[in-house]
Each structure stands twice: as structure tokens, then as C-alpha cells.
Amino acid sequence: RRILNLEKMSNMKMKEAALIYLDRSGGLQKFINDCKYYNGMFSKDSKQSFAVYRFNILINPSDVVELDAELGNHILHQPLKAAQVFQSVCFIAVKTLSLIEQLQTETQINIVLKLTHLPPLPSYSLDLSEFSLDYTSERFYMMQGIVIAMTTVTKYTQGARFLCSDEACPLSKGFQYIRVHVPGATESATVRNDFLCDLCASSLQEDRKFRVLGGISDNFRCLLSLTSSSCWKFTAILANIFASQIVPPGTYNLLKLCLLMSLVQTNDRNKELENYLDVLIITSDTLLVDRLLNFSINLVPRGIRHSVSSEIFPSLSRNKYGTGACSIQAGSALLAKDGICFIGDLTSHKKDKLEQLQSVVETRSITVYIPGKKFGDDIDQQMIFPVQCSFWSFVDMDSSSRRNTQKANTLIGQMDCSLIPANLVEAFGLLINCNESSPCYSLLPTVQHTLKKAIDPEGLLYITSKQFTSEDFEKLLAFAKNLNVEFSMEAERMIHGYYLASRRIRTDSISGSKLTASALKYLVSLSEAHARLNLRNKVLKEDVLIAALLFEISLTLKYGAAVFCVAPNALFPFELYNEEYLEQRDIYLTQCQQQLQQFIGTYGPGTAVFTSDE
């Protein structure tokens, strides 16, 4: 008991010292200002709040040691415990001064200590040659050297709120389960699906509207919180405002949604899984589409714009130094590993290159043959390279060759793509129609935007361009694409049911099924992409609906309409002006979901139309 009393007195003394230091250094006033910022993000009658409120506190170790040696020692050698001292002080300040009305528990405050410097002593310098032997404590170190390379920044969830799934449990409410990211922890340490309640052992469920996302802008955080009641609103708004520097908000929404979904699938999470999303666009405005795609590929680390004068895939050449050896040039596709390879207008490529592209899109690999005799060897060799990128391309509908080869008869909803090989069109997962007859083409706003940009090229024409910058989208995508997602049971059933039903109705006795096994892969990838774009860890049936609608729109353009008839503007049936239109869209998509379930129930597995073999 005496030891406990001593520890309690020691903690009280350090808290007093922490408060004095914050007051003297100006840190307390900065903390109050930060609280006002958080408190001002929501209206007084709003029920929205964050699970965790993050505060950076600047610390001068020398000043703290002079004030209180024990607190200074904690900061230098046990910074996590020191952060808890400042956490307690800050919580008392919040409650005493009524700084954040929504904050309920001390664990909701996340304190990050930022040190101005460390003592110039050998024990505070990090020597990598001795790291495995001596440096085992979790504290600050100085490091000196030359930076020769940098990885991409990994964005972690900063904090999340969990609730007990048993409504009868007292921990099914409030802020008793708060997960906070600590240095060195992985994403799964903060957000996972297998946490259990300490009181009743029931599973914990995350309350997504309270999630605090890391290096993502406050405007996106607020938008995610405000749209948390819907599985479709957040991505609809993202598509609506995306690339407002290139096209007016509200135009090309279908294409922009597809591009965003393709971008969040660019990562190296699991090399065994082929979760790429290839996009082929049919358009009569190649200049605008080209600008939009160029803008989009710059939002990921490896977005490659292929030049017609270079090679898309690896090519063989003789060593330029005369050694007789061969050199393999990587080509744009390999350089775009874990990213996007934008290959421009498909009609600008020769027939043999298109055939090669078709093979690569289908197999996700390229083989380079090395003739032995040509390079001083008796044996021929070959090298196989995996192609780990998504391909973007477009076809110009207004080209002269297109007008001369136009088909006379097409099925309802089918697009005439006779300018390029049919097998290549089928290989692309998404086929998007962006011409004057399509719902994603808005002529007048686009013309006005072009004229304004001609007058003021650097000007921001819309408020959304200031609120959601390209840098904000870059950070959002960087976070979203690193999310590990898993399918819910009902989502898995729905995606398999739709695939089998769609395969059934698009099969005939002459040509067989128009849906290959890769179709299921694309449906899975589309569903995952929509979940990631919603910053979710679990794929829901609402994500599968978006995937099915996008896939069905592509199938209709390729082969014509079928039993499950989807309108070309199914994903954006209304112009997104305000909350009312978003509500109408949700109602419309709910009706589409019911139609999809009816379609699966009629033509899916286990129904009378399926034979035992199928």
C-alpha cells in the first residue's frame, strides 16, 4: 500500500509539473486553440464526434528536466508513459474549461510528444551496427546519415471506437473500447474484426462514424462522418467532386468512379491475388478524357503514361557496349508495377501489339524469348515476367477509320467496337461509354469549364477544388488502397449468385458462355474497390451491388442488354446537387438491389433453370 501511495504521489507531482510546463511554454494555449478547432467542426446540436482527438505537444527536454527531473526522465526514456501523464492533464483541462463537448473519456485523447532535440550524448545516438544488441527500449534516438531512398508513406488508422455486439451488455454504449495507433503497430492492431468484450466475451463491432483516419484531410473526415449512415453516399460525392481541375463537378461521374476504384486497387498487398481493374473508355472527346486520365495516374506512386515511341512490354536488344550479350528493356507495363499503365488511344497501336496486350491482360504475364544463336549461345532461353498493373486506354469514336468500319446492326444497348479486336474488348474488365449519347457526357458545363480554363489556366473555378485538393485525394487513395478487406457472408453469396446467374443467361449452344472465369475475378475486385473507397474493412452486399451494376453496364455495351436490364445511368440516376438528391439515389439503388436479388433468385444456383452440370 505504501508503494502504491508513493507511485500515486509521484504521478500527481509529474502532472503538476506537466501543467506548469504547458502553461509556461505556451503549449496550454495551443492545446486550447486545437480544442476549439475540434469543437468548431460540428454544430452544437450535432451528435457527430471523433473516437480519438489527436494533439501534438512540443517538448523541450532541457526545460522539463530543469522543472522536474522525474518527468524529464520519463520523456527521454519512457515517452509512452510520459504521454499518459500529459493525456491526463489535457483531459482535466478539457473538462474544467469545457473545451470539447463531445469528449467523454480520457482514452479519447491521443497525445503525440514532439521533442525539439535530444541530449548530445552517445547513448541517444542510434548506431545501426549495434542496434540488435543494445537498443531494445522504446524511446527517442537521434540518427545521422545520408538518405538514399524513401518508401511511400503508410497511412494508419489513428483511432477507432468499438461497441459490444450484445445490446444487453453495458459496454454496448459509450466510449469504453477505444483503439489508438501507437508507433510501430500495424493496422490490424488498431482495427480488426476479432476483438472480444471483456465483460461478456461477445464480439466487438466498430462504429465507423467515429473512426479517425491518419495524414487524410479534415474535410474528408467530416464528409465520411456525415455520410456514415449510407453505404453509397461517400463514394458518390467523391466521384462528383473528383478532378474538378479538369472537368466540372457532376460531369463524367461514372468514369470518375471507375477511375477511383481502379486507383485503390493499386498496391502490393498480396501478389497471389490478381485484383487489378482495367478500364477501356469509348469516347468522342479524346482530349478531355486524355487529360482526366493523365491527372488521375499522377495520384499514385507508379502511374505511367506510355509513349507511342517506346515499348509497352519488355523488348530484347543487343548490348550497346559490344559485349555480345543481350539487354532487356522493361517497357511501360513493368515500370508501372503495382500502379497504372495508361497506354493512350488503342487505335494508335499496331495489330501485333494489340494481340500482345490481349494476351497480357488475360494471363497477367509476358514471355521474352532469347534466341541463343543471335546472342552467342547454343541454347534458346525464355524469361517470364509477371505484369502487376492495371491498364487504362480509350478508343476514339470520331476517328475516320471508325466511320468507315461501323457496323450496320447491333443489339439493344450494344456499342459498336469493331475498330479494335473483339477479344481485346472482352479482356478489359470495365468498358465505359463517354460520348454525346451517354449519361456521363454533359456538353454545356464542359464547354463553360474549357473557356474559363483558357482565360485563367491556374485558377480554381469551384469551391470543391479548394476544399478537396488533389493532394487530399492522393492521401485518401494512399490510405484506402492499403486497407485489408474481407467479404461478409451475404456479400460472398450475392457475388457468386450474380456471377452464376449472369453466366447462365449469357450462354448459348453455339458460342458457349460469354462470361469467363476472369469475370468472377473482376466482380470480386470491383466489390473490394468500392469497400476500400468507402474506407471499410469489410465488403458488404451494397458494395457487390455497385460491382454488379458496373459489370452489367460493361456487359451490355459488349453484348447487348439481357434479362437483368441495367440503365446506362444506373449508378448516377440523378444529378448530385444536395442531400435530397443523394437520398433519392439511395432509394433508387435500394430498388436495384431488390431487383438483383430477384434476378439471382430466378436464375441463380439452386433454381429450376439450372441443370445439375451447371
**Rounded average pLDDT over 356-377:** 82
Q: pLDDT band at 372, cuts 50/70/90?
A: confident
Rounded to an integer, what distance in angstroms lies between the CA atom of residue 515 and that of residue 329? 35
Question: What proportion of the chain, given as a percentage, has pLDDT over 90?
Answer: 33
Which residue bears the cell 499518459?
84
Q: pLDDT band at 609, cuts 50/70/90?
A: very low
Q: Which residues of 62-84 are buried (b: 16+ CB within 10 A; e: fewer)?
A: eebbebbeebbebbbeebeebbb
Whole-number pLDDT of residue 41: 60
Q: Is 80 exceeded by the pLDDT of residue 47? A: no
DSSP state letter for 561: -
Q: Is 60 exceeded by the pLDDT of residue 272? A: no
Whole-number pLDDT of residue 611: 43
DSSP state letter for 172: G
Residues 239 and 256: beta-carbon distance below 8 Å:
yes
Q: Where are the alpha helices (DSSP H) in 157-250?
A: 187-190, 218-226, 233-241
Whole-number pLDDT of residue 270: 53
- Residue 448: CB atoms within 10 Å: 12
Instruction: List, in order, residues 6 or more apart from 412 with CB less than 8 Å away.
Output: 560, 561
Rounded to an integer, what distance in angstroms lies between the CA atom of residue 417 and that of residue 281? 11
Q: Is 70 exceeded by the pLDDT of residue 608? A: no
Q: Is 50 exceeded by the pLDDT of residue 391? A: yes
Arithmetic mean of pLDDT over the chain? 83
Q: pLDDT band at 613, cuts 50/70/90?
A: very low
- Asked which of 30-34, 231-235, 505-509, 603-607 is least confident by mean pLDDT, the reply is 603-607
Whole-number pLDDT of residue 231: 92
Whole-number pLDDT of residue 111: 92
Question: What proportion of the chain, given as a percentage, has pLDDT over 70?
Answer: 82
Q: Is 60 exceeded by the pLDDT of residue 224? A: yes
Residues 75 and 59: beta-carbon distance below 8 Å:
yes
503-532 tens-digit pLDDT: 888 877 666 677 877 888 899 999 999 999
Whole-number pLDDT of residue 255: 94
71-87 tens-digit pLDDT: 999 999 999 899 999 99
Whole-number pLDDT of residue 42: 57
Q: pLDDT band at 249, cuts 50/70/90?
A: confident
Rounded to an integer, what distance in angstroms lies between the CA atom of residue 515 and that of residue 503? 6
Q: Is 60 exceeded by the pLDDT of residue 403? A: no
More confident residue, 270 or 474: 474
Q: Considering only CA atoms, which of 230, 218, 216 is closest in space to residue 579?
A: 230
Q: pLDDT band at 34, cuts 50/70/90?
A: confident
Whole-number pLDDT of residue 399: 64
User: Grid coordinates standing for 408?
Assistant: 450496320
**Rounded average pLDDT over 246-269:** 87
Q: Is 60 exceeded by the pLDDT of residue 135? A: no
Q: Is 90 exceeded by the pLDDT of residue 596? A: yes
pTM of the model: 0.74
DSSP state letter for 264: T
